[in-house]
């Protein structure tokens, strides 16, 4: 999630745990702790692929943060004791302010290495977009109430309760969406295909499903307000003929570890040279995916890996008109919206349905 949301969450947790004892201090310290794991964005791991795949690594590990929270509790108890606050209460304060950050991140698409350094792919159970005002607003109001009134617990408790209720709603919404998807996938023989169901940007009423089908991938938009309207499937090329080449490269294998099958490959001309580009299909929306990487360049009949991978622009970017159409589709299922309206036409495999 974004930095403002993580700070608000940490502040709300801090106020809930120790607001009655520390007042505004609990909120402010909680906000600082809530943003602490994201300081790893200032570390440079060498290139674009390393930076994106190492983010949410050691600094988001539940094991690391549990150890840090325990250490901070012991230090505060030893050097800055406060009457009536037990070691257990300090430990709960530091631990919860820290670990709620990666746990919330794991509810987004990006993925979080919760069990670093034990290995395994990043954990992701996407039920909220990386920026969701309806989740953040109750936290901000509760924290603001605490800062203005000096009552460090009442506002944060209510803000935290409302934001958690919203997460429960999002989980239920995803269940409804997956039920509506099931017959569409069955009709197209995709019941067992890898699929990712996540909220469309900034809301939990409209959802996007990405389904991997060999050398193709399918996009489906499903809204909670769609009623009996049957979801429509749009098909794209995935550039799977380049996948063996990408997996033969160290950076390509790293991206595969990070994104799994949700990658698109293409040969794109960059700076006058044929370049192998991999795009993460999870992060963004067709037409304005957030992350594409230059992995190799063609020299004669062979491909040579780039020593330093680059983050490259992928097609168009969302503008106010695009966001307006997305917002209209969220509220009105009869409003036409195809993902292929935004994507490069060369990647659309079939004639788009009438959306």
Which tens digits make up the pLDDT trace of 167-221? 999 999 999 999 999 999 999 999 999 999 999 989 999 999 999 999 999 999 9
What average pLDDT does the segment 155-160 reach? Answer: 96
Which tens digits make up the pLDDT trace of 37-93? 999 999 999 899 999 999 999 999 999 999 999 999 999 998 887 878 999 999 999
pLDDT at 335: 67
| Nearest CA-CA partner of 281 in 306, 264, 302 | 264
SS3 262: coil
Using a cut of 0.85, tell me whether the model's pTM lies above it.
yes
pLDDT at 155: 95
| Nearest CA-CA partner of 218 in 276, 280, 286, 278 | 286
Percentage of residues in the chain having pLDDT higher than 70: 94
Strands 263-270 and 273-280: antiparallel
Q: Is the peptide bond before 117 cis (omega within 30 degrees of 0)?
A: yes
Percentage of residues in the chain having pLDDT higher than 90: 75
SS3 116: coil
Q: Classify residue 354 by burial, with Cβ atoms within 10 Å: 0-12, 13-18, 19+.
A: exposed
């Amino acid at each position: 999630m974004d930095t403002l949301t993580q700070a608000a969450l940490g502040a709300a947790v801090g106020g809930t745990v120790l607001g009655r004892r520390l007042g505004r201090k609990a909120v402010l310290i909680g906000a600082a702790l809530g943003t602490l794991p994201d300081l790893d964005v200032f570390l440079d791991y060498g290139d674009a692929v390393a930076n994106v795949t190492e983010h949410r690594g050691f600094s988001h590990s539940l094991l690391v943060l549990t150890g840090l929270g325990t250490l901070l509790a012991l230090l505060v108890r030893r050097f800055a004791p406060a009457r009536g606050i037990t070691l257990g209460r300090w430990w709960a304060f530091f631990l919860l302010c820290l670990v709620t950050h990666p746990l919330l991140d794991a509810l987004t698409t990006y993925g979080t290495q919760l069990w670093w350094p034990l290995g395994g792919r990043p954990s992701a159970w996407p039920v909220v977009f990386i920026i969701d005002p309806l989740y953040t607003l109750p936290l901000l109001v509760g924290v603001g109430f605490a800062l203005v009134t000096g009552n460090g617990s009442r506002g944060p408790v209510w803000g935290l309760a409302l934001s958690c209720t919203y997460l429960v709603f999002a989980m239920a919404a995803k269940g409804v969406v997956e039920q509506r998807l099931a017959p569409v996938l069955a009709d197209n023989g995709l019941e067992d295909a890898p699929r990712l169901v996540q909220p469309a940007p900034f809301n939990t009423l409209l959802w996007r499903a990405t389904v991997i089908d060999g050398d193709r991938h399918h996009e489906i938009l499903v809204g909670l307000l769609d009623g009996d309207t049957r979801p429509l499937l749009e098909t794209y090329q995935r550039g799977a003929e380049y996948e063996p080449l990408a997996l033969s490269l160290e950076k390509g294998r790293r991206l595969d570890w990070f994104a799994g099958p949700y990658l698109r490959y293409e040969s794109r001309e960059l700076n006058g040279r044929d370049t192998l580009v991999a795009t993460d299909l999870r992060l963004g929306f067709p037409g304005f995916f957030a992350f594409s990487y230059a992995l190799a360049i063609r020299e004669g009949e062979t491909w040579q890996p780039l020593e330093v991978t680059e983050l490259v622009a992928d097609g168009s970017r969302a503008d106010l008109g695009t966001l307006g159409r997305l917002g209209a589709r969220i509220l009105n299922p009869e409003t036409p919206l195809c993902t292929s309206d935004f994507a490069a036409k060369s990647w659309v495999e079939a004639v788009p349905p009438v959306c």
